[in-house]
Amino acid sequence: MYKLLIVDDEQIEREGLKAILQHGLPEIRIEQAKNGNMAVQLAEEFRPDLILMDVKMPGINGLEAVELISKSQPAIKFIMVTAYDTFDYARKAIKLGVKDYLLKPSKATEIVATVERVLHLIEEERKSAETTELQRSALQRVLPIIETDIVTQLLFDHVHEVHLDELVGLLGMNIGNEKYAMNVLLPPGAESRYSVIKEKVRSMGSGWVGAMYGRQIPIIVFPEADRSYRSQAMTMARELLAAVKAEGQNEGWFIGIGNVCETLDQIRQSYQEALYASMDPSLPVKYRFYEDTPALGVMRDGYPVKQLEQQLFDRIRLGQWEQVRIDLMDFIRRYENEGASLLHTQQRVLELLWITSRVLVEMGVEMDTPMFSFHAQDYRQLRAESELLLERMRQSFAEHHDRIEPDAIQQIKQYITEHSHEDISLEAIGRMVGLSPFYISKMFKDQLGVNYIDFLTECRIKKAIKLMGDPERSLKEITYMVGYHDPNYFSKVFKKMCEVSPTEYRKTLLGKLASS
């Protein structure tokens, strides 16, 4: 039921309007005010949807009353009732947002039609506001999915530029010029504390939290411009550690912090540095910066880490574990022959094992961080302990490989195709097939040549094109039907994929259908 307020200093005018409107629009609830001051007061108490406001009244005139009421209740609509049809009046009324006006005297049919017109406008605005609120709620629900997926793909895959720009925009964070990565290492059995970390980062408003894999949580942090990187990073690390401590989890946590980078394209390197910084969780202070980690980056034999990474990745991917073992033993022997100190060599071997474990984790193998259980007393012990750690990695890899169904990629493709209109995330797909989100992302790229978001986008655009053949459906409706929450985002993605806007494409499509 709509509420309407009639404002006029002539009682006969008020009663006449009320009688006409009650007859023509019986569902409306009507109240009356005999001057501008009373109108302002009743507007606060009655909260009308629409006010019929006389212009000429003693004290506060109609336009002045409209201005006062609009300041506190901007949603109220106004129809001015006047005996003066002048340009100057109309200009002022339009400036105040008046939707229509009635000239005295007016026919009953004209009065009812004018009120109906404005009530229809109010109804449309209500529906639009409800739709906007639903969209906002839907977007709020999907933001955590967007956040974890964008972190996953920034650190372990490639995000198409249109998706990266739009997803960053949807997340609504000022990412500034500087950014860096953190790696939160959880103790065994603390996986349920993932939500504590995520909520704490969200409350601080300073970063994105990725999906947990194994016992590690990746975070991309966007520091404030007016404070130093180290100061802010230390504050954040302490806040995160305090949050889990408050949950009764004191031991085994560690946070590695990568160097600052300028663009999101470089964030993967910062995350790799954060991984290195968290290599030794036994340190008394439970966070460490990469730049404070001794002698990392280049091995003593002169081989850059990147070269070793590629070599290890190729061999592990091919399952050449015996060759990996031989390389590791040769590595130890080279240090022994050079007369290097045992402690120094053990640190270098641990670095090599860490690279190996990181490659495995990125392939989806869940495993603990490799750590020596003691300081070796001689090189024989070091070789034996190193082989033991490597064998554990091989077993983890074998167990992971055995769990993967041969048709896993087909299952994932079918799932995405059938559910592309829903808010699909890598985590949801991972739960379905029992694989790590990171492994799925890499498997998609390796086997199909595209990442999962590109495949999901292709499925959605194909569905959109099919729906465009129905002229009864609006493009806005189609946007939501295929899984997007923002028509502008859908339009940009569609144009990127099809090289024309959705409107242009549909016009051509319907033209072809009409001529056939």
Query: What confidence category does residue 46 fall into, taking pLDDT thresholds of 50, 70 and 90?
Result: very high
Q: What is the pLDDT of residue 306?
A: 56
For the chain, give the longest Cα–Cα distance.
112
Q: Does one domain contain both 325 and 242?
A: no
Judged against a pLDDT cut of 90, whether residue 485 lies above it is answered with no
Instruction: In whole angstroms, give the CA distance from residue 51 to residue 4.
Output: 6
Instruction: In whole angstroms, give the CA distance from residue 237 to residue 230.
Output: 10
Residue 161 lies in a domain: no
- Domain boundary (265, 292, 319) is at 292
Residue 151 lies in a domain: no
Residue 390 lies in a domain: yes
Q: Does one domain contain both 118 and 14?
A: yes
Query: What integer is the mean pLDDT of 440-467?
Result: 82
Q: Does one domain contain both 119 and 216?
A: no
Tens digits of per-residue pLDDT, 377-413? 889 999 999 999 999 889 888 887 776 655 777 888 8
Q: What is the pLDDT of residue 156?
A: 66
Helix 437-448 × helix 342-362 angle, to 10°: 70
Instruction: In whole angstroms, give the CA distance from residue 420 to residue 429.
Output: 12
Judged against a pLDDT cut of 80, whether residue 430 lies above it is answered with no
Secondary structure element (H or E) that encloses residue 246, with its range? helix 229-246
The CATH number covering residue 483 comes to 1.10.10.60
Q: What is the pLDDT of residue 24?
A: 92
Tens digits of per-residue pLDDT, 333-361? 888 888 887 877 887 788 778 777 877 87
Helix 437-448 × helix 452-468 angle, to 10°: 70
Q: Does one domain contain both 102 and 193?
A: no
Greatest mean pLDDT range, 15-24, 152-161, 305-314: 15-24
Query: What confidence category does residue 115 fall into, taking pLDDT thresholds of 50, 70 and 90?
Result: very high
Residue 262 lies in a domain: yes
Query: What integer is the mean pLDDT of 469-473?
Result: 87
Q: Does one domain contain both 122 and 43?
A: yes
Instruction: In whole angstroms, give the CA distance from residue 133 to residue 138.
Output: 8
Residue 163 lies in a domain: no
The residue range of the domain holding 470 is 408-515
CA 166, 167, 169, 171: dihedral to nearest 10 degrees?
170
- Strand 216-221 and strand 207-209: the pairing is antiparallel
The helix/strand/coil state of 297 is coil
Q: Does one domain contain both 19 and 124?
A: yes
Tens digits of per-residue pLDDT, 74-97? 889 998 888 765 556 666 666 677
Q: What is the pLDDT of residue 409?
A: 79
Q: What are phi and psi of 35, to 5 degrees?
A: -160, 175
More confident residue, 321 or 173: 321
Contact 181, 147 (CB under 8 A): no
Residue 147 lies in a domain: no
- Domain boundary (379, 403, 427) is at 403
Tens digits of per-residue pLDDT, 277-288? 887 777 888 999
Residue 154 lies in a domain: no
The CATH number covering residue 252 comes to 3.30.70.270
Q: Does one domain contain both 122 and 25?
A: yes
Q: What is the pLDDT of residue 31?
A: 94
Contact 393, 370 (CB under 8 A): yes
Of 117-131, 134-148, 183-197, 433-447, the poorest mean pLDDT is in 134-148
Q: Does one domain contain both 89 and 53?
A: yes
Tens digits of per-residue pLDDT, 247-271? 766 678 999 999 998 877 788 888 8
SS in 3 state form for 20-49?
HHHHHCCCCEEEEECCHHHHHHHHHHHCCC
Q: What is the mean pLDDT of the chain?
A: 81
Q: What is the pLDDT of residue 298?
A: 44
Q: Does one domain contain both 321 and 241?
A: no
- Domain boundary (128, 162, 184) is at 128
Neighbours of 267 (CB within 10 A): 21
Q: What is the pLDDT of residue 49?
A: 94
Q: What is the pLDDT of residue 299?
A: 47
Instruction: In whole angstroms, give the CA distance from residue 347 to residue 355.
Output: 13
More confident residue, 310 or 430: 430
> How many structural domains does the chain have?
4
Q: What is the pLDDT of residue 148?
A: 79
Judged against a pLDDT cut of 50, whether residue 297 lies above it is answered with no
Strand order in the sheet with 287-289: 207-209, 216-221, 180-185, 254-257, 287-289
Q: Does one domain contain both 115 and 21?
A: yes
Q: What is the pLDDT of residue 347?
A: 76
Six token digits for residue 342:
């045992």
Query: What integer is the mean pLDDT of 37-53?
Result: 93
Q: Does one domain contain both 312 and 349?
A: yes
